[in-house]
């Protein structure tokens, strides 16, 4: 239907210098974890105001290790939002704990902290919120709640590296924080993630957890006391991560410009529900990893699947962010049913993620906005 180039809904920007850097690592022969991992961790630590950081093969691995670091396992409960990616549910279940879901705010998609407090029981060990690109969880309220109940906080910050709270980078404060470097995120190491911890003692405990559980005895032989995974990041990935982190301010500036353009140009009849507006002109607090809208399906003759197919036919990719965790097969196995969390379930039914990544131009946003309006108008009943 279109002769225009295909517009992905997400994707990384990799420059020639970074690609050449990968070749240098390959020629060096140091392919597994080595000097570039140390450099990447040091750069991330500086970004997080000196807090210790350990990189891993994914944000999923970072969450699993964070749960293990907290000693969370069978008989424990972790409170989290039903509106998140499957990683959150999977890793809580994998360590043997019980995921306790609560609803989210319909506009910001952030976890409902009032519902979190109501869900706390003697078995609760941690709160795991997922931050959203357009609006962070209220960090002051979150950590005050955790302190009152002596709970750990494991922040799923996969989508928001570069977002700020009261002028400080996410990861620079709080408890445990996890980042993702998947190709769809604000920076990439192709695959990879990071765990920000509180002190060198916790960092030392992460090291065996990400590498077979191995510790060294005085005679240099090895021992294992806990079944750790193998989550060490290769130097090739770390080399990419170092270059990407250096360009993060540039990437964020373009993402914010694209988000501003969406807010200025987006219009549909009937109207879609939009992300939260930026707090103020020039606000640099949000990183805008993605831009998701809720389709007005109750006032349309078109299904979401048909809408996405129509966008695809126009050469525009879309995503779904995210399904309701409590209604997937694993979530239902804990007794959750339809109707438990209305905001989460509406988002799961109606959400569509539209293209937003730093390779886009403002004209690409105009193209997306025009396509959405063009598809929705004839779909009115």
Alpha-carbon dihedral angle through residues 168, 360, 279, 292, given to the nearest 10 degrees: -110
d(CA 103, CA 347): 11
Is the dihedral angle over the CA atoms 250, 255, 258, 259 positive or is it negative?
negative
Q: With DSSP H G I counted as helix, E B as strand and the rest as coil, what are the percentages for the chain, rounded to 5?
A: 40, 15, 45
d(CA 268, CA 79): 36
Question: In sequence order, what are the residues at sequence separation of 6 or more whose Cβ sits closer than 8 angstroms to the Cβ of residue 69?
Answer: 176, 195, 197, 202, 205, 206, 209
Length of the chain: 381
Q: Which residues are catalytic?
A: 185
Q: Rg of the Cα trace of the chain?
A: 21
DSSP-derived secondary structure letter, 186: S
* 139, 157 Cβ separation under 8 angstroms: no
Q: Give the Å distances, CA to CA, from 316 to 2, 22, 24, 376.
A: 10, 31, 36, 15
Other beta carbons less than 10 A from residue 230's beta carbon: 12
With CA atoms as reference, report the closest residue to 376 among 271, 285, 289: 271
Is the dihedral angle over the CA atoms 293, 297, 299, 302 positive or is it negative?
positive
């Amino acid at each position: 239907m279109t002769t225009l180039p295909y517009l992905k809904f997400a994707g990384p920007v990799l420059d020639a210098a970074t690609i050449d850097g990968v070749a240098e690592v390959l020629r060096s022969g140091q392919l597994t974890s080595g000097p570039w991992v140390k450099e990447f961790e040091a750069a991330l630590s500086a970004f997080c105001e000196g807090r210790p950081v350990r990189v891993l093969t994914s944000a999923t691995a970072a969450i699993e290790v964070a749960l293990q670091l907290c000693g969370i396992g069978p008989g424990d409960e972790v409170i989290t939002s039903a509106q998140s990616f499957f990683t959150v549910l999977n890793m809580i279940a994998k360590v043997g704990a019980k995921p306790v879901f609560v609803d989210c705010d319909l506009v910001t998609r952030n976890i409902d902290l009032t519902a979190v407090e109501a869900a706390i029981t003697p078995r609760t060990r941690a709160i795991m919120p997922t931050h959203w690109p357009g609006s962070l969880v209220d960090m002051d309220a979150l950590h005050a709640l955790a302190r009152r109940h002596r709970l750990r906080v494991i922040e799923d910050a996969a989508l928001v590296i570069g977002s700020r709270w009261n002028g400080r980078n996410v990861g620079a404060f709080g408890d445990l924080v996890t980042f993702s470097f998947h190709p769809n995120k604000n920076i990439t190491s192709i695959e990879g993630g990071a765990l920000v911890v509180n002190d060198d003692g916790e960092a030392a405990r992460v090291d065996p957890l990400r590498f077979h559980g191995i510790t060294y005895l005085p005679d240099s032989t090895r021992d294992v006391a806990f079944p750790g995974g193998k989550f060490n990041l290769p130097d090739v990935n770390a080399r990419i991560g170092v270059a990407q982190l250096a360009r993060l301010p540039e990437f964020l500036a373009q993402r914010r410009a694209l988000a501003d353009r969406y807010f200025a140009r987006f219009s549909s009849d009937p109207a879609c529900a939009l992300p939260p507006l930026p707090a103020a002109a020039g606000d640099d607090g949000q990183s805008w990893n993605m831009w998701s809208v809720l389709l007005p399906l109750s006032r349309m003759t078109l299904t979401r699947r048909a809408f996405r197919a129509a966008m695809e036919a126009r050469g525009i990719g879309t995503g779904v962010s995210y399904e309701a965790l409590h209604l997937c097969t694993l979530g239902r196995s804990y007794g959750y049913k339809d109707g438990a969390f209305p905001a989460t379930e509406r988002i799961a039914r109606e959400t569509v993620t539209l293209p937003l990544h730093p390779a886009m131009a403002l004209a690409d946003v105009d193209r997306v906005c025009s396509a959405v309006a063009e598809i929705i108008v004839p779909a009115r009943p």
